Structure 1
Amino acid sequence: MSVDIPTEADISLIKRIIPHRYPFLLVDKVRDIVPNTSAVGIKNVTVNEPHFQGHFPERPIMPGVTIIEALAQTAAVMVGVSKGLADKNMLVYFMAIDKCKFRRMVVPGDVLELHVTAKRGGSKIWKFEGVAKVGDEMAAEAEFTAMMDMPQE
């Protein structure tokens, strides 16, 4: 008997897979999920986000580290959907961030697309490459390694 794997995760499913919550839940939706392979996260950037109070009040710019975190959250959702990990209390830990580059500022009003592809994975340790885009413009890119961990029952 085969189980249908969703190709999209709304905010409700995202919150069942990853533990992040406001103000650190940085993905609104994940679409185009290809199990164990790739996905595209969507982050609607709004001026109401807390990091804009200090980064920078006169010219709000989304911090680069939060863009990379949003890529990682997208990757974790892709893994969680692929492996049926909703409601399993999965935790995700960065292990490495490599080849990280920032190309364009991300500002309120932007729709950030978070393209992630698994380079290696299948068990607890996964390696991804990610590209964050606004429209056709690349905002950031990185390779990152993460550990997907679930508490023992």
Structure 2
Amino acid sequence: MKHNMDMLSHEYVLDILPQRYPFLMVDRINEVDTSKIVCIKNISGNEPCFQGHFPNKKIFPGVYITEAMAQSAILLFSFMKDSSVDNGNTLPLLYHTNIKFKKVITPGDQMVISINVVKRISNAAIVEAVVKVNDKKCAYGELTFTLMGDE
């Protein structure tokens, strides 16, 4: 599935995700198809989380890395053929995570977030997530979502 560059832009991300600064954890989509997405998050030294999270050694918090994975997965769901995420009828809720952290992420890093669908069953989805910086794996694992309808 090919998409024009406008669909992969920051504006498209804002159209799909309900999160806003400072909790928007995806800057743009690099590539996408029906079962995989690659997103980018640039880490700035000005991120609000750095004020209180190890203020003397700026390390991007694991919970924010996990949130970047979850938001990337929600963007992927919006591209899936049978998904109604993009029209607001379905809300993907993060149900369970199993994430491992290998390397710290600091200001100046660019997170490359890769999400692959492992399994999709009616109102649930399991995705595999990998976050790399400079081609080195920093975090990886699985996220499980419950897809809630508007009933």
Q: Quick one: structure 1 residues 150 and 115, their matched pair in 2 at CA, closer, same or farther if it must change by over 3 Å?
A: same
Number of positions where the alignment pairs a residue of Structure 1 with one of Structure 2: 147
Tell me if the contact between 2:78 and 2:84 (Cα under 8 Å) persists in the aligned partners. Answer: yes
Give, in angstroms, the shift of residue 33 of structure 1: 0.4
Give, in angstroms, the shift of residue 84 of structure 1: 6.2
TM-score between both structures, scaled by the size of structure 2: 0.87
CA distance in 2, matches of 1:128, 1:147: 12
Tell me if the contact between 1:17 and 1:89 (Cα under 8 Å) persists in the aligned partners. Answer: no
Q: Does 1:137 align with 2:139?
A: no
Q: Which amino acid aligns with 1:105?
A: V
Q: Quick one: structure 1 residues 22 and 150, their matched pair in 2 at CA, closer, same or farther if it must change by over 3 Å?
A: farther
Tell me if the contact between 1:18 and 1:89 (Cα under 8 Å) persists in the aligned partners. Answer: no
CA deviation profile, 1:1-38 (whole Å, cap 9, x unmatched):
xxx76375222111221211111110001121011x11
Matched with 2:3 is: 6
Tell me if the contact between 1:105 and 1:139 (Cα under 8 Å) persists in the aligned partners. Answer: yes
Unmatched 5+ stretches in structure 1: none
Give, in angstroms, the shift of residue 148 of structure 1: 3.1
Matched with 1:80 is: 78
Higher relative contact order (CA 8 A, sep 6+): 1
CA distance in 2, matches of 1:30, 1:11: 8
CA distance in 2, matches of 1:122, 1:16: 26
Unmatched 5+ stretches in structure 2: none
CA root-mean-square deviation? 2.0
CA distance in 1, matches of 2:65, 2:55: 18
Q: Which amino acid aligns with 1:6?
A: H
Tell me if the contact between 1:18 and 1:90 (Cα under 8 Å) persists in the aligned partners. Answer: no
Q: Does 1:44 align with 2:42?
A: yes
Q: After TM superposition, which residue ranges in structure 1, 4 or more long, deviate above 4 angstroms? A: none
CA deviation profile, 1:114-134 (whole Å, cap 9, x unmatched):
011000126431100101000
CA distance in 2, matches of 1:13, 1:122: 27
Matched with 1:110 is: 109
1:55-134 to 2 correspondence within 5 Å?
A: 55-82=53-80, 83=83, 85-88=85-88, 90-98=90-98, 100-121=99-120, 123-134=122-133
Tell me if the contact between 2:118 and 2:128 (Cα under 8 Å) persists in the aligned partners. Answer: yes
